[in-house]
Amino acid sequence: MATNQKETVIIGAGPGGYVAAIRASQLGQKVTIIEKEYIGGVCLNVGCIPSKALITAGHHFHNAQHSETFGITTSNVTLDITKMQEWKDTKVVNMLTRGVEGLLKKNKVEIIRGTATFTDKNHLIVETKDGSQDLEFKNVVIATGSSPLAVPEVPFGGRVVDTTGGLNITELPKRLVIVGGGYVATQLAFAFNNFGSKVTILEKEDSIINFFDKDMVKLVKKSYAEKGVDVIEGVNITKSAQTDDTVTVTYEKDGKEESIESDYVLVSVGRVPNTSKLNLEAVGVKLLENGRINVDESLRTGVEGVYAIGDITPGPAFAHKASHDAKIVAEVISGKDSIVNYKTMPVAAYTEPEVATVGLAADEVKGNKEYKVSKFSLAGNGRALSLDANEGFVRMITEEKTGKVVGAQVIGVSAGDVIAELALAIELGMVAEDISLTIHAHPSLGEAVMDTAELAMGLPIHM
């Protein structure tokens, strides 16, 4: 087998891999990207993007039935789940993945479709449909992402699906049990509820989405209760059983055994890094106990020329973390003295209402007199009122002495978008007055950020 000489090889074409490939090429490197399944990775194909498409479709279906507030009454509203899935796949997912492939080609990135395995720290074997290729590389970036974590008591198969199966479901369940209460689980609970499913969440921890401040979680739970979603926390699942038509999950809570029957069970309890089949032993890269690859602040693995980014490294498994890593690692390989900076990495969940946080959390600084916490209710925001979405708030955490913005939370409509301005403020070391002096369009949700800044200054207009 002939050996092909490569400069920089990227393994995986997800939001980490394809971004690294494009940026490395822009910086003058000759880049080859290897992808065994999806251009765009899990995120674009069976994760972030299709889940938001389903959430949006759920909102439209629910709103079509419940718009009496606006003086709009409709009847005979129906859902064609096949047509919805067709829209999701063709108009959203396929359009984005084709776009990413086009960007790779435009930036002169060589694409090899196949499965990569290391033979040593400078060589890979890639198995493709046309046979094997031996690649010798100068640099390699491992960006292989992650896969759904299984629950032994509720094994995948039949009517037990992972998030990929849940997003591609063609039979709307009348009853759906979701095992897990993290980012994806809580979002999909609202989506299926809006489609008309009776949803129950089973969470082993004391609280769902417990990485957000308690008052934010409280509002999400309130919304669940109003919409008829049951949230059962602190459970220990012991077993499950399937028939042709149902799944029964048995669990313990407070010392009592309970069972719940549903049409489907969607398991979303986290993800595991895709590192076990790379033969990293041949490279000399050692794995942490959780299967992730330890890296320094420049994404180096400790083996010369070998880097790792995204889900397979320590930290949260976010697409935007992977993309940030990707740009940094491309710069490092190109000789720049670059390091990752996660202090302004936002966290968002597209629940109802949406929740987002960046920097220091309110629960984190509670009782600490070095910080000031300022909260502005969306009930005082004209745009939120006009959207009939005035539940929620913008919160800003500033240093008491300097007024410097060091943390923020948003709960409410478009929280995932609104949080970006606050992340930028933290990144630039801005003080509250900088935000207050920035003219915001009226009426807009962004004005709530300005109002929060003025509150932090002690000069509120709309309170």
Q: Which of 322, 236, 237, 317 is nearest to 272 (CA)?
A: 317
- The answer to whether position 31 is within a domain reads yes
Query: Which tens digits make up the pLDDT trace of 434-453?
Result: 999 999 999 999 999 999 99
φ/ψ (deg, to 5) at 375 = -130, 125
Q: Are strands 256-262 and 247-253 parallel, antiparallel or unpaired?
A: antiparallel
Residues 414-427: what's their mean pLDDT?
98
Query: Which tens digits make up the pLDDT trace of 243-252?
Result: 999 999 999 9
Q: Are 34 and 143 in contact (CB under 8 A)?
A: no
- The total domain count for the chain is 3
- Neighbour count for residue 443 (Cβ, 10 Å): 14
C-alpha 291/C-alpha 196 separation (Å) is: 39
C-alpha 416/C-alpha 411 separation (Å) is: 9
- The answer to whether position 368 is within a domain reads yes
What is the 3-class SS of 396-454, one letter each residue?
A: EEEECCCCEEEEEEEECCCHHHHHHHHHHHHHCCCEHHHHHCCCCCCCCCCHHHHHHHH
Residues 415-437: what's their mean pLDDT?
98
Helix (H) or strand (E) segment spanning residue 240: strand 236-242
pLDDT at 222: 98
Give the domain-ending residue among 219, 237, 269: 269
pLDDT at 2: 75
Distance spanning both ends of the chain, measured CA to CA = 73
Q: Which of 121, 168, 78, 33 is nearest to 304 (CA)?
A: 121
Distances in whole angstroms, Cα of residue 6 to Cα of each of 15, 20, 123, 259? 22, 16, 10, 56
What is the 3-class SS of 409-423, one letter each residue?
A: EEECCCHHHHHHHHH
Domain range for residue 174? Answer: 160-269
Question: DSSP per residue over 167-224, as a string?
Answer: HT-SS--SEEEEE--SHHHHHHHHHHHHHT-EEEEEESSSSTTTTS-HHHHHHHHHHH
Query: Which tens digits make up the pLDDT trace of 125-173?
Result: 999 999 999 999 999 999 999 999 999 999 999 999 999 999 999 999 9
Sheet holding 236-242, edge to edge: 236-242, 247-253, 256-262
C-alpha 50/C-alpha 260 separation (Å) is: 28
Residues 93-111: what's their mean pLDDT?
97
Work out the percent of the chain whose per-residue pLDDT is above 70: 100
Question: Tokens standing for 166?
Answer: 């849940």
Q: Are strands 393-399 and 371-377 parallel, antiparallel or unpaired?
A: antiparallel
Q: Which amino acid is at 281?
A: E
- The answer to whether position 154 is within a domain reads no
Tell me, what CATH number does 77's domain have? 3.50.50.60
Residues 330-339: what's their mean pLDDT?
98
Are 11 and 142 in the same domain? Answer: yes
Are 321 and 354 in the same domain? Answer: no
Cross-strand pairs, 161 = 266
Q: Which of 432, 434, 439 is nearest to 453 (CA)?
A: 432
- The answer to whether position 217 is within a domain reads yes
Give the domain-ending residue among 333, 356, 379: 333
pLDDT at 138: 98
Are 241 and 317 in the same domain? Answer: no
C-alpha 398/C-alpha 447 separation (Å) is: 18
Is the pLDDT assigned to residue 1 strictly greater than 90? no
Query: Which tens digits make up the pLDDT trace of 273-315?
Result: 999 999 999 999 999 999 999 999 999 999 999 999 999 999 9
Region for 71 from its dihedrals, namely left if φ exceeds 0, alpha if ψ lies in -120 to 50, beta otherwise = left
C-alpha 361/C-alpha 373 separation (Å) is: 10
Q: Are 285 and 296 in contact (CB under 8 A)?
A: no
Query: Could you identify the residue written with the tokens 């299709």?
Result: 50
Q: Which amino acid is at 239?
A: K
Query: Which tens digits make up the pLDDT trace of 20-74?
Result: 999 999 999 999 999 999 999 999 999 999 999 999 999 999 999 999 999 999 9
- The answer to whether position 68 is within a domain reads yes
pLDDT at 276: 95
Q: Are 31 and 24 in contact (CB under 8 A)?
A: yes
- The answer to whether position 153 is within a domain reads no
Are 175 and 286 in the same domain? Answer: no
User: How many CA atoms, within 13 angstroms, populate the side-chain half-sphere of residue 152?
Assistant: 2
- The answer to whether position 155 is within a domain reads no
Are 113 and 176 in the same domain? Answer: no
Query: Could you identify the residue written with the tokens 């979303």?
Result: 268
Are 309 and 398 in the same domain? Answer: no
Residues 448-459: what's their mean pLDDT?
98
Are 224 and 175 in the same domain? Answer: yes
Give the domain-ending residue among 309, 333, 357: 333
> Is the pTM above the cut of 0.85?
yes
Confidence of residue 93 (pLDDT cuts 50, 70, 90): very high
Are 118 and 81 in the same domain? Answer: yes
**For 204-276, where are the alpha helices, taking DSSP H only?**
214-227
**Catalytic residues, which ones?**
442
Residues 109-119: what's their mean pLDDT?
98
Instruction: Please state, rounded to an integer, the average pLDDT across all residues of the chain.
Output: 97
Query: Could you identify the residue written with the tokens 């090889």?
Result: 9
DSSP state of 389: -
- The answer to whether position 65 is within a domain reads yes
pLDDT at 3: 86
Are 307 and 325 in the same domain? Answer: yes
C-alpha 293/C-alpha 11 separation (Å) is: 14
Are 12 and 135 in the same domain? Answer: yes
Are 357 and 441 in the same domain? Answer: yes
Are 14 and 140 in the same domain? Answer: yes
Is the pLDDT assigned to residue 266 strictly greater than 90? yes
C-alpha 198/C-alpha 173 separation (Å) is: 8
Q: Which of 198, 194, 200, 151 is nearest to 177 (CA)?
A: 200
